[in-house]
Amino acid sequence: MKRILLAFLIAGFSFSAMAQNAYNLIPVPKQLTPAEGSFTIKKGTGISIGDEAFRSVADMLATQCQTVSGIVLPVKIGKASSGIVFVMNSTLGDEAYALNVTSKKIEVQAKTGKGAFYALQTLMQLMPSQIYGKDLLTTALTIPNCNIADEPRFSYRGLMLDVGRHYYPVDHIKRFIDLMAMYKMNIFHWHLTEDQGWRIEIKKYPLLTKISSIRKESTVGRYSDKKFDGKPYGGFYTQEEVKDIVAYAGKKFITVIPEIEMPGHSQAVLAAYPQLGANADRIYQVGTKWGVSEDVLFPREETFTFLENVLTEVMALFPGPYIHIGGDECPKAQWKESRFCQDLIKKEGLKDEHELQSYFIRRIDKFITSKGRKLLGWDEILEGGLSPNATVMSWRGTAGGVEAAKQGHDVVMSPNSFLYFDYYQADPKTEPIAIGGNLTLAKTYSFEPYLPELNAQEAKHVIGIQGNVWTEYIKDLPYAEYMTYPRALALAEIAWSPMASKNYSDFKKRVTGHLPVLDVLKVNYAKAFLKQ
Ligand code: ACM
């Protein structure tokens, strides 16, 4: 066994080593064989597609080539012995592709448009970095010859953006999605509701956008400083905007998972609908401080009706399988003090408030499952007993994920110790304010989702990984890009590339070689890793 592992490692190192320089591919492909020579896109180069499934990807390639070279690449259905050809290969996996570049022909094989899209991302990374821009190229549009066979290690390759603490306009969300797609990430987890702001239009509850989406002021600096700016802050996405973003992501083969937080992180809801909390007569306000609010939803029938109505509208907007219901950081003090909650605990034969939270999540799970969707929640949903159909997102380290996988549940590993991109990535003295932590690019890259505690069967429940961009301190897109890149490149590689190819120094070289692409795209990436 050890010998096989060693052979894999050596194979991995050698192809990774070859992947330097001209082949700065991120994530590194499963197999890459470099070759002498190159293919040049010139006047007369055509694109042939063996199936209509490849048309949108072929059009993307043609458009980008035309933008930077002025060359029109006609896209035709059929076969060809030269030029760029997309061939249907039904023996490949849905996300797999093969890419063979010779001086005469570029051949992409895929089974689906998605596979072809990933081949396109690889092909683009093999071209001069200006392919990503809008300016006319000064050099030829060449692609080094090579043979690549590639497919992802994990099916879930995600990034989360918190738009509750800070609102990101539609165009900025699209840009966030654009960058994800370049590195073959396929899940955008959209954290839409928070104590400090509700950001999605729900037609049945107009106060969610009228009241819950606006806070009267925001925290300035560290929240322990208790300083406020006195300026109202708000924003939300209309259902039309949500549909537009979901469709936009879909064209880049990214599924959007909405998160509607419950029962905690719901203070903004209570500002509009106080009857869903501890005290209907209390005046709640949308949160202005960061941290965990004591004001939580109560497990009343009225609350379940509200949540089911909200989720019904949400499910109509998001066609993907998963609906994230939060479930994290729900303080139990108000439930402890409540006669209603204590009576419900007795009536339902529950042990304590943790089991009451489990009762809450089970009811929501039943509802979501009845609609043919899957519930996804943070690892606190394990406390008090895991709901039967839940998938667990492990954030407080990996213990929750390990526990859930051992119980036979699917798991997304998103440990704060490796994948929280709101953490510092270098010495805080030299960095803009961040929530804390110490998470260098190398540390992120070192994460291995198959934990030693899991046997082979249990490890199969680890469906992938996710990086999280919480935005208490991250007010806008340039800041978010600074925190996300290049760490998201490490995430993309862990999620996609074979374990055997893992090699930080090779990865760092490829990232360094790839920086001109980020420069062309004007990504505000952090450079600290270069000196680490
Ligand atoms: C979390 O970071 N509260 C999921």
pLDDT digits (tens, 9 = 90+) for 144-182: 999 999 999 999 999 999 999 999 999 999 999 999 999
CA 235 to centroid of chain Cα atoms: 22
Cβ of 54 closer than 6 Å to ligand 1, yes or no, is: no
Q: Give exposure, 14-36, as e/b (b: 16+ Cβ within 10 Å).
A: ebbeebeebbbbbbbbbebebee
- 444, with CB counted inside 10 A (0-12, 13-18, 19+), is buried
- Ligand 1 atom nearest the C-alpha of 470 is 2
Q: Where are the domains of the chain?
A: 2-150, 156-502
> What pLDDT, on a 0 to 100 scale, did the predictor assign at position 410?
98
Residue 22 — pLDDT band, cuts 50, 70, 90?
Answer: low
Pairing of strands 97-101, 47-49: unpaired
DSSP alpha helix (H) spans, 252-290: 267-272
Closest C-alpha to ligand 1, atom 2: 395
Cβ of 395 closer than 6 Å to ligand 1, yes or no, is: yes
- Beta-carbon contacts of 484 under 8 Å, excluding residues fewer than 6 positions away, are 159, 176, 179, 421, 467, 469
What CATH architecture does domain 2-150 belong to?
2-Layer Sandwich (3.30)
Name residue 515's amino acid.
L
Residue 474 to residues 165, 287, 469, Cα–Cα distance (Å): 9, 17, 8
pLDDT at 338 over 80: yes
Average pLDDT over residues 115-135: 97
Cα(349) to centroid of ligand 1, in Å? 29
> What pLDDT, on a 0 to 100 scale, did the predictor assign at position 139?
87
- Determine how many CB atoms are found less than 10 A away from the CB of residue 91: 7
pLDDT at 138 over 90: no
Residue 9 — pLDDT band, cuts 50, 70, 90?
Answer: very low
> What pLDDT, on a 0 to 100 scale, did the predictor assign at position 70?
95
Closest C-alpha to ligand 1, atom 3: 328
Residue 520 to residues 133, 202, 217, 435, 524, Cα–Cα distance (Å): 6, 39, 37, 29, 11
Average pLDDT over residues 69-92: 97
Residue 6 — pLDDT band, cuts 50, 70, 90?
Answer: very low
- Token pair listed for 148: 């690549």
Residue 173 to residues 178, 184, 325, 326, 465, Cα–Cα distance (Å): 9, 17, 21, 20, 20
Cβ of 421 closer than 6 Å to ligand 1, yes or no, is: no
Q: Are 41 and 128 in contact (CB under 8 A)?
A: no
pLDDT at 11 over 90: no
Residue 286 CA to residue 307 CA, distance in Å, equals 18
What's the whole-number average pLDDT of the chain? Answer: 95
Residue 458 CA to residue 440 CA, distance in Å, equals 29
Cα(134) to centroid of ligand 1, in Å? 38
Percent of the chain with pLDDT over 90: 94
Q: What is the pLDDT of residues 367-381, one digit of tens each?
A: 999 999 999 999 999
- For tokens 């537009």, the residue is 244
- Ligand 1 atom nearest the C-alpha of 329 is 3
Residue 82 CA to residue 160 CA, distance in Å, equals 41
Cα(174) to centroid of ligand 1, in Å? 24
Query: Would you mind telling me the total number of residues written for the chain in this entry?
Result: 532
> What pLDDT, on a 0 to 100 scale, did the predictor assign at position 112?
98
Residue 501 — pLDDT band, cuts 50, 70, 90?
Answer: very high
> What pLDDT, on a 0 to 100 scale, did the predictor assign at position 503?
97
Residue from 161, 383, 470, 474 to probe ligand 1 pocket by mutation (most atoms less than 8 Å from CB): 470
Cα(420) to centroid of ligand 1, in Å? 9
Q: What is the pLDDT of residues 386-438, one digit of tens each?
A: 999 999 999 999 999 999 999 999 999 999 999 999 999 999 999 999 999 99
> What pLDDT, on a 0 to 100 scale, did the predictor assign at position 484?
98
Cβ of 360 closer than 6 Å to ligand 1, yes or no, is: no
- Give the Cα-Cα-Cα angle 245, 243, 274 (nearest 5 degrees): 105
pLDDT at 7 over 80: no
Question: The pTM is what?
Answer: 0.95
Among 131-145, 185-199, 334-348, which is the least confidently predicted range? Answer: 131-145
Cβ of 496 closer than 6 Å to ligand 1, yes or no, is: no
Cα(395) to centroid of ligand 1, in Å? 6
Average pLDDT over residues 82-104: 98
pLDDT at 5 over 60: no
- Give the Cα-Cα-Cα angle 229, 233, 238 (nearest 5 degrees): 170
Residue 3 — pLDDT band, cuts 50, 70, 90?
Answer: very low
> What pLDDT, on a 0 to 100 scale, did the predictor assign at position 20?
37
Q: Are 390 and 377 in contact (CB under 8 A)?
A: yes
Q: What is the pLDDT of residues 189-246, one digit of tens each?
A: 999 999 999 999 999 999 999 999 999 999 998 888 889 999 999 999 999 999 999 9
Residue 342 — pLDDT band, cuts 50, 70, 90?
Answer: very high
Q: Domain 156-502: which CATH class? A: alpha beta
> What pLDDT, on a 0 to 100 scale, did the predictor assign at position 23?
87
pLDDT at 2 over 50: no
